Chain A
């Protein structure tokens, strides 16, 4: 029991240190990697909190997939974040401090940590534990609730993931238009750095978009862009 408490305190300390480091750092690569570390440490804490299914989902999806997604977006976007002037940090700090104080005030009404008779732990969760062995015949209660009792919920989750994938495909223009769209309000081009793929192969503004360009070549030109931009580093 005491060892579990020590583990919990260790995980909490690591999480706080990593979160504060994310606040302070400016290199986007370091920030994204620390986000993966944060997810992994919280996955370890989930094991200590008896949530093993949540732990391996968080380790695979939170620390794995979302870190890869963020790294890819960072490569396509930027490597460094600009410093925020100090005067612009006071407002957010005040909001966060007041919200945190309100939540600390609400902690007084929370049930004690680990209370087996708290309202959250009493009714429905207890029924699932009682009934799963007879009704579903598998030992893992979380899987039983996820796939059987709340199967429609999981189906809706799959629909959400499908919609998100579709949205990403449409946004990134994998139909062959990647990097060819640029904003020209009132005939003015917004940024000289805009749309690097379009800059390499300039198109007339009123030309119909060619749909035949293979997506692979566009993807490679877009992937090359940050390396060319960061030529002063020259490491990769």
Chain B
């Protein structure tokens, strides 16, 4: 286990970042700082997904056009030999698999999932911040213990009159 933690140090660092964000969410009493912690946690989860989708020696998943491949000829030889090493088993598929057999690409699927997650994350963040602003208007504070204290003192159970 210990050797795995140090060999896959990308995952380990991302886990440390995730736990830092989670700690901010748990420990801080300030609602805005809590939301910042949630945002850090979220970005770290994105990093975990993208790290899993990375392929060593790969390229961004934008298909290389064979027509003008002269620009990156020297890099292509390297990728071609890596690709023939790694994809020797899956080469005999369809004729259209020629592209990915020559050049190695990173996995596009985590990228798509995380693109959706980023936008949805901002939407939920906006809702949370609007709630914080409303809480500040009513209670005069965004500290959790102050809010809980006011709730307790006035026996407030959602009655607005």
Which residues of A are at the interface with B, using a C-beta cutoff of 8 A?
Answer: 1, 8, 12, 15-16, 19-20, 22-23, 28, 31-32, 35, 38-39, 42, 45-46, 49-54, 57-58, 61-62, 65-66, 69-70, 72-74, 76-78, 81-82, 84, 88-89, 91-93, 95-97, 99-100, 103-105, 107-108, 110-118, 120-121, 124-126, 128-134, 139-142, 145-146, 150, 153-154, 157, 160-161, 163-165, 167-168, 171-172, 179, 181-188, 190-197, 205
Contact = CB atoms under 8 A, between A and B. Distances in A.
A78 B32 contact: yes
A82 B133 contact: no
Nearest to B150: A190
Contact of A62 (B5, B10, B43): B43
B158 to A, nearest CB: 9
B121 to A, nearest CB: 8
Contacts of A164: 123-124, 126-127
Interface of B: 1, 4-5, 7-8, 10-13, 15-24, 26-33, 35-37, 39-40, 43, 46-47, 50-65, 86-87, 90, 93-94, 96-97, 99-100, 104-112, 114-116, 118-127, 129-134, 136-143, 150, 154-157, 159-161
Contacts, number: 349
14 contacts: A8-B10, A22-B20, A42-B43, A49-B51, A66-B39, A77-B133, A81-B33, A125-B53, A140-B63, A146-B112, A154-B116, A186-B155, A190-B154, A194-B139
A99 B15 CA distance: 10
Interface centre among A77, A140, A153, A182 (most CB of B within 10 A): A77
Given A142-B62, A190-B140, 4 more contacts: A57-B118, A84-B28, A129-B99, A139-B63
A125 B107 contact: yes
Contacts of A190: 138-140, 150, 154, 156
Contact of A77 (B51, B136, B155): B136
Contacts of A111: 52
Q: Binding site of B, secondary structure by majority: helix, strand, loop or mixed? A: helix
